[in-house]
Amino acid sequence: MRVVFLGTPGFAVPALQALHNWSDPEYQVVGVITQPDRPAGRGQIRTPPAVKVVATELGIPVFQPERLRDNPAAQKFLEETDPLLMVVVAFGTILAPEFFGYPPLGTLNVHASLLPSYRGAAPVVHTLLNGERETGVTIMKVDEGMDTGAIVSQSRLEVGSDTNAAELEEVLAHRGAELLIQTIPNYVAGESQPVAQKGEQASYAPRIGKEEARIDWSWPDLRIHNWVRALNPRPAAKTVFRGKEVKLWRTSRFKEYGQQLDDCGSPGAILSLDRRRIIVSCGEATCLSIEEIQMPNRKRLSAVEFINGINPQVGESFT
């Protein structure tokens, strides 16, 4: 069976690899559609998306349109590859009906949440922001809406209280690849009937930009901790120290150490420094431990490295 794969970032790579390496010779990835190369990094060097790199290594034809809608070249690519099924994983744009409806078996999408929860571009981020203890992946049949298609299959997993977005994305990417391989045969055979989503239970997960990433130290410790892990690695939680914007990469809730401070002080104030951590006051009389931090134009530093290299003082504040 001829399959065309649509995906762009590293999250989509395990699914592409799983389809390509599938032991069932009936299934063949005959083409990959991904976003165009984009400038990236400090030097803004034009860089291919992760899916293109892997597809090229695997010898799969790659098509990189600026747009799919009203694009004769995209239509020609479909006609030439002639897919029976398409699979979408984090492609980056909503597909038009004439495109996702082209294959006789339609188009399946792998989404990093338990739909209808967290429809949209950043389901992993919002899962962590809200402190969810369970998440999963959903395979749905693509329709005209944003992640509104009928559910074909789901797989659940627990979320650790300190898991960050990069770690959770990695787990979900591989879980989604496994579920995809398990799901397709039954779907193709008509043995699994897609179930419509309950729209009244839907929630949404819009992307959070750099301009929105600033920490408010009047928040309680749990909210800040979830903010830091949800925005690691993109766009990274930010605060200001000594007039410079810094990034926080890892924190932990201070009360988990079984210790208490008599006075939590003003939000953002450094309350204590030791060989392992920097204790900072938060809102609602709570405290947070900073464990990894990055000054501008420097590498990430552990709390110990920050204390030894930057020499922060008790009473100084993050703002």
* pTM for the structure as a whole: 0.95
Task: Return the CATH superfamily for domain 2-201.
Answer: Formyl transferase, N-terminal domain (3.40.50.170)
Answer CATH for 210-310 from 3.40.430.10, 3.30.1490.390, 3.40.50.300, 3.10.25.10: 3.10.25.10
The values of phi and psi at residue 71, to 5°, are -120, 105
Q: What is the pLDDT of residue 254?
A: 76
Q: What is the pLDDT of residue 258?
A: 45
Token digits of residue 213: 């990433």
Residues of the chain with pLDDT under 50: 257-258
Question: 2-201 and 210-310 share one CATH topology?
Answer: no
pLDDT tens figures, 224-234: 999 999 999 99
DSSP helix, strand, coil percent of the chain (3-state; round to 5): 30, 30, 45
Q: Pairing state of beta strands 300-302 and 270-273? A: unpaired
User: Which of 239, 241, 248 has its CA nearest to residue 217?
Assistant: 239
pLDDT tens figures, 97-144: 999 999 999 999 999 999 999 999 999 999 999 999 999 999 999 999
Domain boundaries, the chain: 2-201, 210-310
